[in-house]
Copies of this chain bind each other. A is one copy, B any other.
Amino acid sequence: MGAGLGEGEGAAVEEATGYEVGIVVPKLSRAAAAGPAEDCVARLVRELEGAGLLVERVRGVPAEFIKLAAPMGTLGRAAAEMQMKKLTYIGMELQFEWDQVAAFVRQPDGSLFSWRERYCCFSYLIYGIVNKTNSEITLKFDGKEFHWKKNESLLTRLESEGVVKLVFPLHDEIKRKQLLRNWALNWLDFTWQPIDEIYSYFGTKIATYFAFLGMYTRWLFFPAVFGLATQLIDFGSLQWLVLPAFFIFVISWAVFFLQFWKRKNSALLARWGINCSLSEYKNMGNELGSLGDSLTTEEKKFGDVSAEKRNLQRNEWFGVLLRIRNNAIIVLAIICLQLPFELAYAHLYEITETEVMRYLLTAIYLVAIQYYTRIGGKVSVNLIKYENNQGEESSSASLVYKVFGLYFMQSYIGLFYHASLYRDILALRKVLIQRLIVSQVLENLIENSIPYLKYSYKKYIAVHKKKHEKESPSGKSVRLSTRVEKEYLKPSYTASIGAELEDGLFDDFLELTLQFGMIMMFACAFPLIFCFAALNNATEIRADALKLLVMLRRPVPRAAATIGAWLNIFQFLVVMAICTNCLLLVCLYDAEGNWRIEPGLAAILIMEHALLLIKFGFSHFVPEEPAWVKANRVRYVAQAQNVCSKQLLKSISKLDAKLD
């Protein structure tokens, strides 16, 4: 896999890489340039150059920018120093060594490091600049002086002093233009996307999102055609069979789609040089998370195995209890606060009579609910922070479940209300269309205009300030001339619920999941909805691509290479869809209410479904493997890798030379 690529070629690609990271510092007033202490920005630049980075200083309108690039050798040494694990040709992850470079698998485009690995190296290099002398160094900034202590990171210090405003990845103009042409503005082939190029530009997480979105849109074509057919063709005496057939088709379609997505995700992992199966990859995240815990306990009482085991068992059960408590809080909040609000809205909607009023009501409601869910998201994030210390599951998955719970209630409870209480299929259809169109319009507006407005506002402020304060000597018109300052003013790709745990993909996935839930759960009420969804997604691909390439700063690359917890939510929605569509079919075929459901029968049916939910949900709380077993296993593997890394590498290099 890429073993055939010549090394010279790969190296050439690497060397041509432009400036990849930018640091923002305030512009210095020239008057303050002289003094006893050294200027801190000058010192930073000197240290960055000393670390082997290529530095370019750019004076922009709102601030000054330090652009950084790194030759291959610098990155490689950083990777070796930070003991980065990297896949070798024999399928094992080993610590990177610069002189054994032939042993490591190269990227699909021939380069040695992926974008995420490069960014990690950059971070390591620039945050790794510490005061190595034995005394404090006095630095000054804009007249003020401060002390750079021993062994303190210069960049962290400057950030806390407010000198460095931001460190952010820079767009690569050549690749960005290429992607814009091939991908975002490629309107001919609706679902094809250059996944490998997206991967090498944005990293695994964003590439996985777009691969999923593309495959989902492609697969949506089938139910969209079937849905259209149910509306256009008159099946005569078999008309009563159409909806049940559509129901069965849609559920089977979803089951197939999700299973084949897992296969596709495995293939993607293989292509990106992640040499483990999907289930192992899922587990891996958890292991690395809990590794820290287990290693610290190990250090404390190495050898006292049974005490450690008891300790881990206690921690594990405490974590489970904490998670149950947090989930109970969220569920109670949803039921006691959100449910009455949603039902009030649904009821108001039902008694409002004019169409315009209804649209207005929906719009008001959608804006109001934004605040509720935002607060809910904040609460969830705070709950997660406590959980994080003990939890087995990765905190991001836990957050996804909690926030999805809020949105699930918000999005669907009104629809259920219409469907079940009033048995009013026509009203349900109208709400569905409104919801899909209004929420789609609103969300695309927010997604695509808010960033632009923010950017324009910031630009205006920056330019205006400059004009106003300084009365620029060079001329009347002040314009943003460099690319880096434009990028600096662009908003970043962050989640609406807070930037700590998730990036902007959270919102995109949430939107996709809610759409999937809507089309699946109410498939029988309105088969045509699949057409809307397919159209929506085809534009969504381009809109998201444009947003990432044009509207926003280049996002920081993240490690995840599966869609994670969202997959579980998709699967949960399929099960929900089975139940809700049955309910809809009963409403549709029993419009007169002749099929009386006795309270006893209803109670037993409800009990059945609740127990099925428990059966399939319980394993979520108690993991199959006790924490102490996992800790032992992971510790041994970590030991192995640390001990044997170097020895192995040499032999792999030899093997690789032979194979070449």
Contacts and interface: CB of A to CB of B under 8 A. Distances in A.
A163 to B, nearest CB: 47
Interface string A587-609: 00110001111101100110110
Contact of A90 (B92, B283, B640, B655): B640
Given A615-B575, A651-B643, A267 B608 contact: no
Contacts of A92: 636-637, 640
Contact of A651 (B256, B601, B626, B647): B647
Q: Helix, strand, loop or mixed for chain A's interface?
A: helix
A625 B255 contact: no
Given A263-B626, A632-B270, A251 B615 contact: yes
Contacts of A252: 614
Contacts of A449: none
A58 interface: no
A305 B1 contact: yes
Interface in A602-660: 604-605, 607-608, 611-612, 614-616, 618-619, 622-626, 629-630, 632-633, 635-637, 639-640, 643-644, 647-648, 651-652, 655
Interface stretch (A32-40, A126-134, A435-443, A577-585): A577-585
A626 B595 contact: no
Interface residues of A, number: 76
Nearest to A595: B598
Contacts of A89: 636
Nearest to A618: B255
A339 interface: no
A297 B133 CA distance: 60
A260 interface: yes
A157 to B, nearest CB: 40
A644 B90 contact: yes
A231 interface: no
A259 interface: yes
Nearest to A636: B91
A139 interface: no
Contacts of A643: 90, 651-652, 655
A595 to B, nearest CB: 4
Interface stretch (A6-14, A271-279, A348-356, A541-549): A271-279
A558 interface: no
B251 A633 contact: no
A589 B596 CA distance: 17
A73 interface: no
Contact of A255 (B270, B605, B615, B652): B615
Nearest to A260: B622
Contacts of A266: 624-626, 629
Contact of A279 (B624, B629, B632): B624
A607 B244 contact: yes
A333 interface: no
Interface in A333-349: none
A467 interface: no
B622 A259 contact: yes
A248 interface: yes
Contacts of A205: none
Rank and list the top 10 A-B pairs by shortest CB-CB distance, nearest first. Answer: A91-B636, A90-B640, A262-B624, A595-B598, A266-B625, A582-B608, A270-B629, A595-B601, A578-B611, A92-B640
22 contacts: A1-B305, A90-B640, A91-B636, A91-B637, A92-B636, A263-B622, A263-B625, A263-B626, A270-B629, A275-B632, A279-B280, A574-B615, A578-B615, A586-B604, A589-B604, A590-B598, A597-B601, A605-B605, A616-B616, A643-B651, A643-B655, A644-B647
Interface of A: 1, 89-92, 244, 247-248, 251-252, 255-256, 259-260, 262-263, 266-267, 269-270, 275-280, 283, 305, 574-575, 578-579, 582, 585-586, 589-590, 594-598, 600-601, 604-605, 607-608, 611-612, 614-616, 618-619, 622-626, 629-630, 632-633, 635-637, 639-640, 643-644, 647-648, 651-652, 655
Given A578-B611, A647-B647, 17 more contacts: A89-B636, A91-B633, A92-B636, A248-B607, A248-B611, A259-B619, A263-B624, A278-B625, A575-B615, A582-B604, A589-B604, A590-B601, A595-B601, A643-B651, A643-B652, A643-B655, A647-B651
